[in-house]
Each structure stands twice: as C-alpha cells, then as structure tokens.
Structure 1
Amino acid sequence: MSRHIVKPSKGRLLIAEPSILTDQSFNRTIILLTEHSDDSSVGFIMNRPLHYSLRDLVPDIDCDFTVYHGGPVEQDNLYFIHQVPELLPNSIEVNDGIYWGGNFDCLKELLNTHQIQPNDIRFFLGYSGWGSQQLEDELRTNSWFVSKNKYPNIFNIKDESYWKDQLLEKGGEYQLWANAPSDVQLN
C-alpha cells in the first residue's frame, strides 16, 4: 500500500494500518498524539472503551464517565484529555482546543458537582509511547498512517466506527480493509 506520509505532530491522529491487524495492542486503533518531539512521542487510544467507569477506579468521584484503554504503557495510571482549560488549572495545550491533564483535585470537585460533561473530557488507563525515532520507524514500515484531526469534537466520536471511517475516507485499498471482519482469519 503506497501512500504519501504525513508527518506526526501534536494533535494529529495515528491510524493503525491494516498490516497490523494481528497486533492485539494496536489493532484497529486511532491514537491522538499529545506529544511529539525528536526524543519521544505520547498518545492515547481514542476508540478502546473499557468496562470501567471513573467511579469504579476513583470511588470518591461521583461520575460514571467511561474510561478508555490509552495504551500499553503505565496501565495503572489514569490520564485525561479535555476541552475545558478555563476550569482546570495547569492544563497543557495539545492542539486546536484539546488539552492534556490539569489539577486533579480541581477536576474531582468539578466532576462531583457535575460541571464537566462527558463530551468535554476523556479518561484513559495507560498511554501509548514511543522512544526516539521509534514512531518514525513504525511509519516507514506501514504500521500507521497520520491524519489531521478533522473532528469538531473528538470526544463525541462513535467508538465502533472510528477506525473504519478513517479508512473509508482514505479510499483506495483502504476501503476494502475497512469492511474486513475484526478477525481476518474468519473471512
């Protein structure tokens, strides 16, 4: 599958190539890059909801927002991205109104008083990370393709169709893979 390689950067999406369908960690994933430099890259899988709510993991937060699998690194840690920096001090801007982290005590209070809505924030266990040049190597070996985030609100995306929609938009051979069963050996 030949293609023009778009450079990764903060706020862009990594879309798993069909060539990694057997990779259980990243099969059919879409990752929002929250950091990208010569030294490392960090991102969160946007389309892997877990069977946990925030309340299950942090009992003193009265909130049933879904928690997502962010990636295979530090899966015991909770991370979050959001679009309400005016409410959360110490947030780090990723790109285009998307922010990473912030004051957790303040966040707990906002969640307990229902001042943050599910379409404002997403929580993750773990993250996806790459060392120096590792992501570039994976791009060269067709593990990922990079796309701009074209969604007006990335937190509203339907999880089950996210990857398929990206492939259909790319067109060509990708349209065939978009409709392939999740276990291609069953085909």
Structure 2
Amino acid sequence: MSDKHNSSAFSSLKGQLLIAMPQMNDPRFHHAVIFMCVHDKNGAMGMVINQPLPSPDFEDVLKQVGIASERPLDEKIRQTPVLAGGPVQGVHGFLIHSSDFTQKDTIHVDDLFSISGTVDSLRAMVGGYKPDKMLFTLGYAGWGPGQLEKELQDNVWLSAPASYEIVFNTPANQMWENAFALIGVNPVMLSGVSGRA
C-alpha cells in the first residue's frame, strides 16, 4: 500500500510571510504580517514584523539587558524598530536580520534572512559588527502540530514569499497592504477565500 498521499501533504512556510486575512478576529493579529522562521510537522514559529511598540526603544532594550556602549550608538542601531513579535514569551528578544551577520546562536532561515536571539548577538552589534538590515521583536507567535495548517484551511491567513523589500524596507503601517500587493491581491476584495497564494 502506498503512503504517497501522506508524504506530499506537508508544505513548509519557513522563510515566508503569513498575512492576516481582513476578517481576522484576534486583535493581537489584526492586519499582522508574520515572518515564519520555523515550520515543520511539530509546529510553527514566526514573528509579527509590522506592530511597533511605543516603548521600549532599542537603546532601552540594550540597557535592560546590561549592554552599555562606551561610545555613542551607531544611528542605524539606535533606529532599529522594536516590534511586538507575538504573544508567546513577550520579554524574549529576537533579531530578524540579513544573512551577512552570524553569531553562535544565528539560525539561517534562507539565503536572505537569519534570526539571532542572544545577548551576545546584541553585544556584537554594539561593538560594531552588525547586519546590513535588522528588526528586533519581543515575543513570537507559535503554533502546535497541525494548528497553522488548520488556520490556513479556515482562511485565517494567506501565505506569500518573503521579500527583502517588504521585511526590511517597508514602513510598518504599509506592510500589510504591500504584502498583499506583492502577490497581486487586493485585501478589500477578500472575504473567506483560499488561504494560499
């Protein structure tokens, strides 16, 4: 008996974007764009990348984890946005960054994107070794086995390829619409249609 139906059913969204559908009823994810860093049969993990926090700013985060710079911080580091990455472990920080920066804890998601999550990575940045592009999130969004697949079937999310331009160069308040535009979809025209692009 063949098991080919089960072996081809899973398709990972690692390195892609999840875009909240307009009818999303969870206020934590209203108009959310999530960068997916892990997705396998055991579950999924991603960070919301378009919900800036009013405080703390990145300089405050560095102080809170005991990193002080002997010289003024580079403007690029000071301007790193601090985002509400999701409802899980809201005090744990993650750097989503270009793949030109590598530390011991760095996970290379794909050729464009990597994630780091330790104080050592932050310390290296303050010391002058930093990625070309970066975002900083507090917390993440997580799904158990099969949970994300069910939400996709229920048209809660639309998936799309991650774009360097969308992730790193698009203002947070424009990201949701631009992520839809990237795949040629007008969110106004959506109701309960398919969850995949």
Deviation at 1:7, TM superposition (A): 4.4
Give the Cα separation in 1 of the matches to 2:122 and 2:172.
24
What is the Cα deviation at residue 122 of structure 1?
1.3
Query: Are the equivalent residues in 1 in contact too, given 2:99–2:108 (CA < 8 A)?
Result: no
TM-score, normalised via structure 2 length: 0.75
Percentage identity across aligned positions? 28
Structure 1 window deviating more from structure 2 (68-77 vs 54-63): it is 54-63
**Compared CA separation, residues 61 and 18, structure 1 to 2 (3 A):** farther
1:56 alignment counterpart = 60
SS, match of residue 155 in structure 1 = helix
Identify the residue that residue 35 of structure 1 maps to in structure 2. Answer: 38
Superposed CA RMSD in Å reads 2.5
**For the residues of structure 2 that align with 1:120 and 1:151, how far apart are their CA atoms?**
9
Partner residue in 1 for 2:5: none
Return the offset for 1:150: 2.9
Q: 1:128 aligns with which of 136, 141, 144?
A: 141
Alignment match, 1:19: 23
Where in structure 2 are the equivalents of 1:156-171 lying within 5 Å? 156-171=169-184
2:151 pairs with 1:138: yes
| Preserved contact between residue 88 and residue 103 of structure 1 (Cα < 8 Å) | no
Q: Which amino acid aligns with 2:38?
A: E
TM-superposed CA distance for 1:40, in Å, is: 0.9
Letter of the 1:74 partner, please give it: Q
Work out the number of aligned pairs and report it.
Answer: 169
Aligned runs of 1:68-79 on 2, under 5 Å? 68-79=83-94
Query: CA offset at residue 85 of structure 1?
Result: 4.9
**Gap runs ≥5 in structure 1:** 1-5, 178-187
Unaligned runs of 5+ in 2: 1-9, 70-76, 191-197
Q: Which residue of 2 aligns with 1:148?
A: 161
After superposition, where does 1:91-130 map in structure 2 within 5 Å?
91-101=106-116, 104-111=119-126, 113-116=127-130, 120-130=133-143
| Higher-Rg member (1/2) | 2
Report the CA distance shift for 1:86/1:122 in structure 2 as closer, same or farther (over 3 A).
closer
SS in 1 for 2:53: strand
When normalised by structure 1's length, the TM-score is 0.78
Q: State the alpha-carbon separation in 2 of the partners of residues 139 and 123 from structure 1.
A: 26
Q: C-alpha deviations, 1:30-70, integer Å up to 9, x for none?
A: 10100001011000011111122122123124552221110
SS in 2 for 1:49: coil
